[in-house]
Chains A and B, each alone.
Chain A
Amino acid sequence: MSAPALAPGPAATPRATVGFEALMERVREIAGQCDRCGSCLPVCPLFAKTGRETATARGKVSLIRGLLEGGVTPTRDLFARLDFCLQCRACTNACPSKVRTGELVSLTKGYLAPATGRPGLSRAIDGFLAQPGLVRLAGPLVRSYARSAIRPVIEKSVLKPLLPSVARMEGLLPGRRPARSDGANHRGGGAGGPSDGGRPPKRGRLKYFAGCMVRLTYPEVMKATIKTLRDAGYEVTVVDESCCGLPHWSHGDLDRARKMAAANLDRLAGPEIVVTDCASCGSALVDYREWLAGDPEHEAAAKELAGRVKDVSVVLAALEPSPQADAQQTNAAQAAPDHPVKVTYHDPCHLCRGQGVRAEPRQVLRDAGYDFIEMKGADICCGGSGTFSVEHYADSMAVLEEKTKNILATGADAVVTSCPSCLMQLEHGLKRYGGDRKVRVIHLTEAVHEARRAGARPAGAGTGVAKPAQ
């Protein structure tokens, strides 16, 4: 049709939330948009498992509206109800008016926290993640602990009696994963060469934002991401000294989240595309424009950054596919007998709904020569959602069990995803519900890197022509 589209309404523009009055105004505004039609009910993974209205967006929005109008009291229980959320955004996606329940809930938690307090675990984790030095120190400890022989000892003797929830979280930490990436040095700039053979074309500079969880628990993913991008011809600068602030924002620690966001704006300033391999970090960086709306000092920079953030799959998908993908797949299968030929893909919530990225990861997997099989409900949350899986273990497992069944039903050798939180959760799911089936859980960049190694071809080296920027 030829006529111009109607102008998008106010919902598209971030609104100020800095300062108490602005926050309350925004809370009122979002809450007032809900019509209580219930479109969010059938898509809520937690409603499907618990059948409780408070789990749904309609329930939460109504509670918040009740709070504003004096029908609901600001209690610890209210905070807990609002906290019982996977932040998967399926509700907003299904909502006819796209009511931003996630933002509304975070803001309301920020309002409630001084009066009701926040759960101890959230507080502890937020405090830890806000200290880059501490995180850096802890990295090797967490990693070696997760994979070491001391683990069962610590588990039995220290953690379990100490704090049941931490003990459960401990159960979620990944075990020993087969190391597959070759050791790219992730420090320092400069273009790295392709892993084997061929000269990559020059493609310009990227900033890679390496989030806490990738650094702490999946350094091999970090290496694979860097290697894959360098193989494709990019000059990669690693920004790895800070947390994106999403845990703090989600837990209602708004001030700290904003401070971290502001600091990251400085770190990420410049003309370069900012690449992430963590769906949650990526969506947080994009959402800074909302976190910092109304902050005259940072507003503009946050808006500008949102336009520069790209998930690694989007960058890789823009490269020309190898014309010999089929041959490469055969090569891959021959070169490494345990190489996952059949793969399926799990959409991280913060990528598919948070950033609207759905097609690219699938395309990247196909282009890399994998036999791609779509799973049922690929974009339904895995139930991980940061500390949720620890604080609400049983509910998290109920959601995960279904996800695992859908993965197994594809018959895939590996499930690929693009978020460390999902990686951890899916690994746990396959361990717990996978039976004898050996299904690997790998990050998209690991999958690409493995295919390149097996096929002995650098990414995008087929034609050396990048697709037009998106």
Chain B
Amino acid sequence: MLPNELRSQIIAVVGPERSLDSDNDRFTYSYDGSFVPLVPAHLPDLTVFPLNVDEVAKVVRLCNEHGVPLVPRGAGSGRTGGSIPVKGGVVLSLERMNRILEIDRKNMMALVEPGVRTIDLCKAVEAVGLFYPPDPSSWTVSTMGGNIAENAGGARAVKYGVTKDYVMGLEVVLADGTVITTGGKAVKNVTGYDLTHLFVGSEGTLGVVTKILVRLISKPEAKKTLLLMFATVDDASECVSDMLSSGIVPASAEIMDKTSIQAVARFRKVDIPAEAEAALLIDIDGPQKLLDDQAVAVAETGRRHHAVQIREAGTAAEADELWVLRRTMGPAVAAIAKNKIGEDISVPRAALPEMIRRLGEIGKKHGLTIAVFGHAGDGNLHPSILTDLSRPGARERVDEAVAEVFRAALDVGGTLSGEHGIGITKKPFIEEALGKGGVEALRAVKRALDPKGILNPGKIFE
């Protein structure tokens, strides 16, 4: 519980109109986009909406002085419980710090506040001929701050990399309220430890990011979108693997199985051949004059792997429609079952066909439907276990299956999380992934930067 005096002091920093502490308000800041149950609720004591770094620093300092948990939050669209206030305390919502401060065209960089939505940055820079590639499926909602905290990926990662590959510098409020600036616009920079990348993916446990400097690249001249259908998931995953090893670098290569496509088809018209069990959604981009040859190469690879249908989007609108299909897949898959346990494993891309086969076996063994979709091009899959947890024995079967999925991913040289982070949902498995020594190193960093353990406690590791 928040002592009354501290509550008043924090409210005084941001003002009562930007503070929420009624029961129903608190309930709506107790969840994120993960499958962590809503009840029992992890209620914060107070949610505040600072407008600038000074307010953030003051709130952080107050919480640190009193040893009260503080949980930074963006849009609450995370998938692993990262912004759930599991130990109560103060939720620090950065949603209203949402200005794009600068688009520096000469240096090809942008400086933004953490509450800027990913898609808004993408659109703003594209308007001046530049390109910010990281595109998590949640980009219409997700904030840049959240993307930094989770080191968000997206479909374009296969060619362009993930959030960390674009972050040049940060302004961070440390646990004691100190404001530091890391990195900068200089492309080469080895001035001490690379603190910038220490904070990227730190899930709000090491500091509160208040400004973000990202590099941009030139907008690709043109783009083509192709949809390839296959009679088996195996054909589809072998096709991606073959495509990449033969030198084709798609901007995105998304795989989806029939269950996933059917989930989306409940709400929008999707035409697929009767024999199709899997699809690949491929984007290629680059100079216009090279695209046609690339499209031919993609189609040829598809045919070598027995594609039952190959379709190229004729217009930008048609391409967008295909992409909406993919981007809405996660939530749509969730809606077809009482419970969806969505995972985010990432494996070396050569191991993708093997991993998908193993997922099929795990599902069969436990009598569970596992829908599979994900970023095949970079080996990042979102297997989703579909079940009704209220049925007797379901919870146990799911727990076993999840553990086997993680073990299989580690076994083929992969890891627990490609782009969603560890949060609380994957915490039990982190030691298996990193080893005791590895987790102890994380703890050492945490202790050094947040000795009182006030920043987003209970996340990543115990």
Contact = CB atoms under 8 A, between A and B. Distances in A.
A33 interface: yes
Contacts of A97: 266-267, 328, 331-332, 334-335
Interface stretch (B168-176, B268-276, B282-290): B268-276
Interface string A1-19: 1111110111110000000
Contact of A51 (B24, B38, B40, B49): B49
A1 B340 contact: no
B226 to A, nearest CB: 13
B2 interface: no
Contact of B77 (A1, A33, A37, A54): A37
Interface string B211-223: 0000000000000
A11 B266 contact: yes
A62 B25 CA distance: 11
Interface string A48-60: 0001111000010
A25 to B, nearest CB: 13
A35 B271 contact: no
Contact of B33 (A3, A37, A54, A69): A37
Interface string B247-276: 000000000000001101111011111100
Contact of A71 (B33, B41, B311, B329): B41
A53 B267 contact: no
Contacts of A96: 264, 267, 327-332, 335
A304 B77 CA distance: 41
A198 interface: no
Contacts of A70: 39
A59 B28 contact: yes
Contact of B334 (A11, A35, A59, A62): A35
Contacts, number: 138
A320 B315 CA distance: 30
A11 B265 contact: no
Contact of B331 (A10, A52, A54, A95): A95
A3 B273 contact: yes
B31 interface: yes
A42 B270 contact: no
Contact of B24 (A12, A38, A72): A72
Interface string B13-27: 000000010111101
A81 B368 CA distance: 38
Residue of A9, A73, A75, A94 with most partner-chain B CB within 10 A? A9
B96 interface: yes
B20 A52 contact: yes
A117 to B, nearest CB: 17
Nearest to A31: B38
A189 interface: no
A66 B41 contact: yes
Nearest to B325: A96
B117 interface: yes
Contacts of B23: 72-73, 75, 77
Nearest to A94: B140
Given A77-B22, A97-B335, A38 B77 contact: yes
Interface in A64-93: 65-66, 69-73, 75, 77-78, 81
A257 interface: no
Given A95-B331, A96-B330, A5 B271 contact: yes
Given A66-B41, A99-B335, A35 B266 contact: no
A54 B332 contact: no
Q: Dominant SS at the A interface? A: loop
B75 interface: yes
Contacts of B20: 52
Contact of A53 (B28, B273, B311): B28
Contacts of A32: 338
A300 B349 CA distance: 54
Contacts of A59: 28
A359 B336 CA distance: 32
Interface string B301-341: 00000000101000000000000000111111011101010
B419 interface: no
Interface residues of A, number: 44
B45 interface: no
Interface in B393-435: none
B24 A54 contact: yes
Contacts of A12: 266
Given A65-B38, A98-B267, A36 B27 contact: no
Contacts of B327: 96
B141 interface: yes
Contacts of A104: none
Contacts of A51: 49, 95-96
Given A37-B330, A39-B331, A97-B331, A6 B270 contact: yes
A274 B152 CA distance: 51
Interface in B329-372: 329-332, 334-336, 338, 340
Nearest to A12: B266
Contacts of A62: 27-28, 31, 38
B45 to A, nearest CB: 16
B31 A36 contact: yes
A256 B278 CA distance: 49
Given A35-B340, A51-B95, A1 B271 contact: yes
Contacts of B338: 32
Interface in B1-57: 20, 22-25, 27-29, 31-34, 37-41, 49
A41 interface: yes
Interface in B49-81: 49, 75-77
A63 interface: yes
A6 B332 contact: no
A1 B274 CA distance: 12
A97 B117 CA distance: 22
Nearest to B36: A36
B262 A42 contact: no
Contacts of A66: 27, 38-39, 41
Contact of A38 (B75, B270, B335): B75
Nearest to A78: B24
Given A3-B271, A5-B271, A35 B38 contact: no
A4 B275 CA distance: 12
Interface of A: 1-6, 8-12, 32-33, 35-39, 41-42, 51-54, 59, 62-63, 65-66, 69-73, 75, 77-78, 81, 94-99
24 contacts: A1-B311, A2-B271, A3-B273, A5-B265, A32-B338, A33-B335, A37-B77, A38-B33, A38-B76, A51-B96, A52-B20, A53-B28, A53-B29, A62-B38, A63-B27, A66-B39, A66-B41, A70-B39, A72-B24, A72-B27, A81-B24, A94-B140, A96-B329, A97-B334
Interface of B: 20, 22-25, 27-29, 31-34, 37-41, 49, 75-77, 95-96, 117, 138, 140-142, 261-262, 264-267, 269-274, 309, 311, 327-332, 334-336, 338, 340
> Which 6 pairs between the two chains have the least Cβ-Cβ distance?
A9-B266, A96-B328, A71-B39, A97-B335, A53-B28, A35-B331
